[in-house]
Amino acid sequence: MRKLKRAVSLLLAAVLCVSVLAGCADGGDSVSLSVSVGSRVTTLDPIYAEDINSQTVLVHLYENLLKVAPDGAGGTAVVNGMAKNVSVEENFDGTVTYTFRLRSARWSDGQSVKATDFVYAWQRLADPASYSPYAALLSVVCGYEEARASGDMSQLQVMAKNATTLVVTLNGNYDWFLREVCTSPATMPLRRDVVQRLKEAGIQATGADGEARAWWSDPTALVTNGPYLATGYQFSEYLELTASERYNSDQLGPKTLTFRFAEDAEEAWELYENKEVDAVWPLTQERLTELTADEEWTAIPQLSTYTVIYNCDHELLEDVMIRQAMAQVIDRNALAAAAGVTARAAEGLVPCGVPENEEGDFRTVGGVLLDNDPEQYETRCQEAADLLSEAGYDRGSVLGELEYLYVEEGANAAVAEELCRQWQETLGITVVPKGVTTRELWSALRKGEYTLAGVDLEAAGNDAECFLMEWTSDSQDNVAAYENSAYDTLMAIIASAADGTARMGCLHDAEALLLGDYALSPLYTMGTAWELRDTLTGAARDARGWFNFSTVVARST
């Protein structure tokens, strides 16, 4: 059968070579950089790393098919990593086949990096026995659902044609696959023999508590294929990386890179002010307040929206009129004020900063979907009371006591208290906030054992589809139990769309439909900021949060 075929070419832009770094240079041919981008590493297993610090370390230790690098103009670009080129075949059955041809490269122990290393890593990620929070990244790969249902990972259509050729077949046309899936820490290659050997060593090192040591717990024992090797580690203190001699690329950046761990933003900022580190994230609220005083300064949008999820299977909340009434009395401006200085009232589920076209980002082009006008608040509250009455309830008194779950960290408690107050005072609905751990929250969500929950919804990729695809009726990640056949149809059209403009139009329609059914109530979005010494340049921050310091050099004078 004839196939439509096109080639995708990704070229790494040239970077000016500078001989000596400013700041933490230690003399001679060796240059070093120290940074603080969070607290201690929680895991160096790629399929579980969720915090920015762990993800940042991973992108320096391992190299994926593609990678995010500075574009020379203050932004980032997706460039070649392990893949020296990739071709795309659009098949007549609607599937799309990507063929990656790998460059010649070696692991840090001298063995060749092979396509089978990616197959192993991707199968491990998709395996339901792994319980990876990033498994859904591969839901666009043919055979994903079948593999998870059967436990037979060979059904996942990720195959090694030979040692240097990786073939991946998707179930649709996903514009974001290359830039989001193939650059993610979760899909980085791993050696099966190395993971198994280190797991066995961890079992032999089981402590008095009966817990086996994690296979990655000694970073200096890892076998990696990225620009750096772990050469020094002190738990909760620091992790030192050294440029790998086996990495098949010119190393223009620091020869040693040290991550200093800080318990909180205040401790990290102290390291920065004392010039013990040359890059710092996150910034303190005090520093962010100073920055926001400058009218020309803008925070970097975070790829998440703090959102109320309604359990549509709940005996009361299955009534869309009750959900709509509760949604309409939400004062997002007050909640954003409680959340922090960089918080902004949500205008839709997809936050600012998610790209669309040359005219602007998805939010700017699509416009505001949520009414945050304070002058209309009383009107919205009256309409909500009328809706509740129409649904057969008098100011919510007979709804009983509902529970609102949230993760007990940061400003979430203050937001929860304010939100529950709004529901009580405007509708007479008693909602009791309950702070839990992240694990407890997601356990309740996945089991459907909750009524309302506040969740920081983070997209796996910087594309509007990544915010919307999990709410289809057949999605295992649809913890709201939301069902709408029209929405399912829209998302199916989006997955097969070849025309970018039409695809974006459908994405805007899908977002409006989802929010119009009140399965979710977006509350606010957050901004962030980080600082690098003005004597340095070349650091990059991925829109998903992690940093790349491997190309940092001294700024030209």
Tally of CB atoms within 10 A around 23: 19
What gap in Å lies between CA 480 and CA 26, rounded to an integer? 54
Whether residue 83 is contained in a domain is answered as: yes
In this structure, what DSSP letter does residue 555 have?
A: P
Cα Rg, the chain, nearest whole Å: 24
**Residue 165 confidence (pLDDT) above 60:** yes
Query: CATH no. for residue 455?
Result: 3.10.105.10
Query: CATH no. for residue 52?
Result: 3.90.76.10
The predicted model scores a pTM of 0.88
Residue 359: per-residue pLDDT: 87
Whether residue 365 is contained in a domain is answered as: yes
Report whether 201 contacts 217 (CB < 8 A): no
Chain-wide mean pLDDT for the chain? Answer: 91
Whether residue 233 is contained in a domain is answered as: no
What gap in Å lies between CA 42 and CA 200, rounded to an integer? 20
For helices 320-328 and 377-390, angle between their N-to-C axes, nearest 10 degrees: 160
Q: How would you write 474-495 as a 3-class SS string? A: CCCCCCCCCCCHHHHHHHHHHH
Whether residue 248 is contained in a domain is answered as: no
Tens of pLDDT, residue by residue over 176-195, are: 999 999 999 999 999 999 99
**Residue 6 confidence (pLDDT) above 50:** no
Candidates 29, 548, 524; CA nearest to 241 is 548
Residue 71: per-residue pLDDT: 84
> What's the mean pLDDT in 372-395?
92
**Residue 509 confidence (pLDDT) above 70:** yes
What gap in Å lies between CA 225 and CA 61, rounded to an integer? 7
Domain count across the chain: 2
Residue 22: per-residue pLDDT: 37
Residue 34, classed as helix, strand or coil, is: strand
Tens of pLDDT, residue by residue over 85-104, are: 999 999 999 999 999 999 99
Candidates 479, 322, 482, 517; CA nearest to 400 is 322
Where is the domain boundary, 195, 219, 243? 195
Where is the domain boundary, 146, 162, 195? 195
Residue 249: per-residue pLDDT: 64
Whether residue 175 is contained in a domain is answered as: yes
Report whether 383 contacts 426 (CB < 8 A): no
**Residue 302 confidence (pLDDT) above 60:** yes
What gap in Å lies between CA 526 and CA 529, rounded to an integer? 10
Tens of pLDDT, residue by residue over 56-65, are: 999 999 999 9
> What's the mean pLDDT in 509-514?
98
Tens of pLDDT, residue by residue over 99-139, are: 999 999 999 999 999 999 999 999 999 999 999 989 999 99
**Residue 452 confidence (pLDDT) above 90:** yes
Tens of pLDDT, residue by residue over 284-300, are: 999 999 999 998 999 99
Question: Is it true that the peptide bond before 254 is cis, omega within 30 degrees of 0?
Answer: no
Whether residue 282 is contained in a domain is answered as: no
Question: Residue 499: pLDDT band by 50, 70, 90 thresholds?
Answer: confident
Where is the domain boundary, 165, 195, 225? 195
Mean pLDDT check: name the lowest of 10-14, 210-214, 463-467: 10-14
Whether residue 441 is contained in a domain is answered as: yes
Residue 19: per-residue pLDDT: 29
For helices 332-339 and 412-427, angle between their N-to-C axes, nearest 10 degrees: 160
What gap in Å lies between CA 192 and CA 433, rounded to an integer? 45
Whether residue 409 is contained in a domain is answered as: yes
**Residue 272 confidence (pLDDT) above 70:** yes
Tally of CB atoms within 10 A around 269: 20
Q: Which domain holds residue 76?
A: 4-17+42-195
State percent of the chain over pLDDT 70.
Answer: 93
Question: Residue 27: pLDDT band by 50, 70, 90 thresholds?
Answer: very low
Which element (helix H / strand E) includes 406? strand 401-407
